[in-house]
Structure 1
Amino acid sequence: MRTRVVIQSRLNSSRLPGKAMMMIGGMPLIELVARRASRGGHEVVVATSREEYDQRIADHLTRRGIEVLRGPLDDVLARFVAATADLADTDRVVRLTGDNPVVDAELVDELIGAVEASDHSYGRIDLARVPEGLGVEVFTAGDLRRAAAEATTAYDHEHVTPWIRRNLGELPYAPEGIAFDIVAYRCTVDSLADYVRVAQLFDRYADDRHGDAVGVSWRDLVAGIAREVEQTGPALPRTTRDGLTLSRLLLGASPLGRDTGVIERHRPDAAEARSILAAAVARGVTHVVTGRDDGDSEAAVRGAYDPALRQRIGVITTLHPLSQVPEDALAYAVEGSLERSFAELGRRHADAVLFASPDDALSGGGAAWARLQAYREAGVVGRVGVVVSDPAQLGRIAGLPGLGQLAVPLSPVDRRAERYADELGRLAAVGVVITVHGVFGQGALTTRTPLASASASASAGPAMLVPGSTAAVPPDRLAEAAALRTAVADAAVALGRADPVDLCLAYAAAQPWVTALVVGVDTAEQLVRVMELADRHPLTGAELERLERLVPVASDSVCAWFAEA
């Protein structure tokens, strides 16, 4: 039985044009991928397009003695059929892509062995359990020809194997002996940042001990990635609820989209926003949390994405408040708000979408709720939930059909949720995701930055806000906030915490019903510090009791200010 490795490649990558000819390990990327795949003696063919620009790939590989097959740009399936035309139906075909240089003949042979030991004719490295960048597929030439004869959609012809998986079954395989972090160990070349990272990886670990860029084992390269990840700090712990995986910390995007809130500050510029998002992804943050009423946060998130980041972090967003919408227009308002979010974010999926208040969720006798649930049923929205600014409102929405997520304020000075811990615990037990926000009091409790003397929410509830409007913050509210800041700082010292940030995180982490904490930052350095502190132990029961004695509870007006600003 013959085995032929076919590697698809083109120069017109939408995210990183020309990457096939970018240098890694002293040679163009596509040459490195081909040489690593052929190391065990397998036949290798690079399947590129007939487009004029791909002549560069063909010319270079031909000079290097690597076989090239050219075919249609968009019908990659046809390219594979042509590249294997001389094989018998029972011969094996291995599919690789030209942007995954960590893959080598050793990994290919491991997958082939797993397929041979099974009753399947098709197998693939399971990218649900293995980092992106280690993708390999194995199938027979006969099955490839059946797919070409029977597949009718452009999608099937572009992606080669979907018809085979749907009709002939599959063996998803994960190599043994490595505990993969599928986010942190990502090693494909999909963006400029990916290219720099992978090129540096080969520079570091392709040496006399491990072998040159062609000879170094994929396992040694992944071990190198693991060492680098360990040096940057451990990934955040995660929780999975009914298929949705969330890190213990989520990135709040509100600071990216507006300036002054509770404290005097200015939003990060685009470069800093990208650094914040990159730092979050590097440590395993799974989601960014934004909303239609959070200034320009959605657009700021989109501007901060590079392609690699976009693929590695999900979105949770909140609809625009509905209090001023006529009842007969509620469904349209829900649709309009969500579609605007999708447009601003540049993606048509959100893992969770929340109503801005219980009133909004219940409006129109369920019409608004039903419209958002329809998005969930269509697969565009993962979960439907509610922001509950006052935990006393929990009873109103706990029975909503399909309730999947709640967002609740919580901090050492806003302990209202503790009074409803039993109800929150029951909801968490049946799979409702509960995130908490305002953990740092919008920065008022954890920084020395001056408190804002004007706020959009100082004199009006969220339903009455006019974009861009401000109102003076009452002096008594400023004085109370300053006193609370001092009390939290003193309590951090008394309880042996590193600083007020540590105390706030430890307090929230001590609540057993909390799924994840939403935190906002102004710099990547701040985020790294927060993630380091999040690894520390939560407050004990005795420490919680002591905190109650040391830190007063904020007034309702200050709680509302911290929640809305």
Structure 2
Amino acid sequence: MVHIFIQARMTSSRLPGKVLMPMARMPLVVLCAQRAANTGLPVTVLTSNDPSDQIIEETMRKHEINCFRGSLNNVLERFIKAAEMLPDSYVIVRLTADNVVPDGAFIQELVDQLQAKGLEYLGTSSPQDRLPYGLSAEAFTVAALRSMAKYGHVPAVMEHVTPMLRAYGSKELFRPKSLEKDLSQLRCTIDTQDDYDRMVALFKGCKIPASLSWTNLCEKLAKLPGQPKFRVPFSIKYSTVHSCITLGTVQLGLAYGATNKSGMPSEKQAITIIHEAIKHGVVTLDTARAYGESEARLGKALANGLAAQVRVITKLSPDCKSPTDVESSIYKSCKNLGQTKLQTLLLHRWETHKDKKIWDHLVGLKKSGIIQDLGASVQDTKELMDALKDRDVSLIQLPFNLLDWRWLNPKVQNALKKRPDIIIHARSALLQGVLISPAKAWPKIKGFNASQAVKKLDTLVKELKRKNKTDLCLAYVRAQDWITSIVIGQESLAQLRENLKLMLRSPLTQEQCTRVQDCFKHSTPEKLLNPALWS
């Protein structure tokens, strides 16, 4: 037997009161319940006993939908009490009230797969499941739910109910057999006003919205104006999604880059670039205190719910000389980004790590939860080797491109293999645009022939059947299995769109990478590889 529990409350942090916002001529939570129950499965809306949620109970009564009230902050307890009379063998399907696309057929297929595989838990997980973000559901036995009571003191379990089931249960993932193509670039959750407007448009004109199949809704969603046609490739590392491209935002806060001719975009243009990247599946954004207006512009772009979709990496001010300076830098970053804590903070210069007071203070802030992850931006292999020795460092950003032979040294590669937990982000894939520019735009380095290098790059583009030099450069970096993501700055929306499309092309093969390396014979002078030495 199956029972559907729909979680609902009025005090949503991103879009308060959304569960009662009108959609398809009825409150959102009612639409969710009617669609979930359209094949006859029993549904109960689980809300809290907080006075703010009294209106949800009244709405459910009006629409003759079962309602249960329990703890506001301990959602796990609410679920366990709601299931008190159900046998251990029953299956509970967990939905949230802003999740209106799943219907009875979707839910039944989820339950059928759970039972056919003999699992205690099965759920969706975006983007691995190829479903639109927000089209989600979880199925688990009542026995599995009750086993979670021992984790009732863990905040994440109290709020989200199933983290332990996902972490320690089966790694099986629900993928509907009726899903014919990847739709993970689409979005059907309701966290922002834009989300709500999109879903209103989705249900517009539906005469019987509760009966429209989830597959038909997905087809209609893909055809709505402005929807992305693809998602950039991603990888999963330690249960975290990493897009192959990280949006670099220094150009959005400064007139930056050796070949930058367009200058810094306006605030409106910068926000549009950020939104377009997120729309296409870019989940990591890179900024710094030293990047002018970048942090502040990011904060404005991520307001109203978008911050929950991405991970922001910022960097400590390079001018920090004391723990007090560190506190000031972090405070300013949090204020600019509109956050109460920093997800990832990098040392802008590795030499700051030598100041034990500063580094120890940062480690302390990490332990206290002000910083989630620490890392560093490094310039050369010596700094990388030092950074890899510190277990508090979990992300390293380094410069790498197809001319850069330094990081391929066997000693360096062996050191990287000993830290499989480390996330490596590569910047300077285009060497500040130099690699895709004519020879006259290259810095003049004694003993290096820029014209010859440009000719070699042009030859490789043709030989390896790449679209252009940008494609060649990015495909080479993406082929390195030790690199998680490429940090690419964008000067314009057109440039971003072109680079996003290039991510859909295949990386170079190992054989092709060797061809590139042989072409330049590891002979590029270090002075060319470090823009700080160009002047």
Task: Name the TM tier (shorter chain).
Answer: 0.7 to 0.9
2:36 alignment counterpart: 37
In the alignment, is the contact (CA less than 8 A) between 2:192 and 2:306 conserved in 1?
Answer: no
1:474 alignment counterpart: none
Structure 1 residue 54: Cα displacement: 6.8
Structure 1 residue 291: Cα displacement: 1.8
The letter for the 1-side match of 2:301 is A
In the alignment, is the contact (CA less than 8 A) between 2:7 and 2:46 conserved in 1?
Answer: yes
For residues 238 and 415 of structure 2, the distance between their equivalents in structure 1, rounded to whole angstroms, comes to: 13
Unaligned runs of 5+ in 2: none
Q: Secondary structure at the match of 1:519?
A: strand
2:530 alignment counterpart: 559
Q: Secondary structure at the match of 2:231?
A: coil
The letter for the 2-side match of 1:214 is A
Q: Secondary structure at the match of 2:414?
A: helix
For residues 279 and 115 of structure 2, the distance between their equivalents in structure 1, rounded to whole angstroms, comes to: 36
- Cα distance change, pair 554–500 in 1 and its aligned pair in 2 (3 A): farther
For residues 180 and 283 of structure 2, the distance between their equivalents in structure 1, rounded to whole angstroms, comes to: 19
Given the alignment, which residue of 122, 125, 142 partners 2:123?
125
- Cα distance change, pair 180–425 in 1 and its aligned pair in 2 (3 A): farther
In the alignment, is the contact (CA less than 8 A) between 1:4 and 1:94 conserved in 2?
Answer: yes
Matched, 1:283 2:315: no
Given the alignment, which residue of 514, 518, 523 partners 1:541?
514
The letter for the 2-side match of 1:105 is G
1:405 alignment counterpart: 395
1:470 alignment counterpart: none
1:461 alignment counterpart: none
In the alignment, is the contact (CA less than 8 A) between 2:24 and 2:209 conserved in 1?
Answer: yes
- Cα distance change, pair 360–123 in 1 and its aligned pair in 2 (3 A): same
Structure 1 residue 117: Cα displacement: 6.9
Structure 1 residue 294: Cα displacement: 1.9
Given the alignment, which residue of 422, 436, 441 partners 2:426?
436
Structure 1 residue 498: Cα displacement: 3.1
Given the alignment, which residue of 493, 508, 528 partners 2:477?
508
Structure 1 residue 284: Cα displacement: 2.5
Q: Secondary structure at the match of 1:442?
A: coil
For residues 537 and 119 of structure 1, the distance between their equivalents in structure 2, rounded to whole angstroms, comes to: 39
The letter for the 1-side match of 2:136 is L
- Cα distance change, pair 24–524 in 1 and its aligned pair in 2 (3 A): farther
Structure 1 residue 64: Cα displacement: 4.9
For residues 233 and 145 of structure 2, the distance between their equivalents in structure 1, rounded to whole angstroms, comes to: 41
The letter for the 2-side match of 1:125 is G
- Cα distance change, pair 141–544 in 1 and its aligned pair in 2 (3 A): closer
The letter for the 2-side match of 1:16 is L
- Cα distance change, pair 218–98 in 1 and its aligned pair in 2 (3 A): same
The letter for the 2-side match of 1:560 is P
Which stretch of structure 1 is more off in the superposition, 401-410 or 64-73? 64-73
Tell me the C-alpha RMSD between the 2 structures: 4.9
1:194 alignment counterpart: 195
For residues 563 and 356 of structure 1, the distance between their equivalents in structure 2, rounded to whole angstroms, comes to: 19
1:387 alignment counterpart: 377
Structure 1 residue 429: Cα displacement: 1.9
Unaligned runs of 5+ in 1: 452-476
Given the alignment, which residue of 346, 350, 366 partners 1:358?
350
The letter for the 2-side match of 1:428 is L
Structure 1 residue 39: Cα displacement: 0.9
Structure 1 residue 134: Cα displacement: 1.2
Matched, 1:337 2:308: no
- Cα distance change, pair 98–556 in 1 and its aligned pair in 2 (3 A): same
Q: TM-score, normalised by structure 1?
A: 0.71
For residues 170 and 288 of structure 1, the distance between their equivalents in structure 2, rounded to whole angstroms, comes to: 31
Matched, 1:215 2:208: no
For residues 114 and 318 of structure 2, the distance between their equivalents in structure 1, rounded to whole angstroms, comes to: 53
In the alignment, is the contact (CA less than 8 A) between 1:20 and 1:30 conserved in 2?
Answer: yes
1:135 alignment counterpart: 137
Greater C-alpha Rg: 1
For residues 243 and 160 of structure 1, the distance between their equivalents in structure 2, rounded to whole angstroms, comes to: 16
Structure 1 residue 201: Cα displacement: 4.4
- Cα distance change, pair 402–202 in 1 and its aligned pair in 2 (3 A): same
For residues 70 and 493 of structure 2, the distance between their equivalents in structure 1, rounded to whole angstroms, comes to: 45
Structure 1 residue 250: Cα displacement: 1.1
Given the alignment, which residue of 414, 420, 440 partners 1:426?
414
In the alignment, is the contact (CA less than 8 A) between 1:334 and 1:368 conserved in 2?
Answer: yes
The letter for the 1-side match of 2:471 is D
- Cα distance change, pair 379–49 in 1 and its aligned pair in 2 (3 A): closer
- Cα distance change, pair 267–52 in 1 and its aligned pair in 2 (3 A): farther
1:7 alignment counterpart: 6
1:238 alignment counterpart: 234
Q: Secondary structure at the match of 1:246?
A: strand
Structure 1 residue 78: Cα displacement: 8.8
Structure 1 residue 312: Cα displacement: 2.0
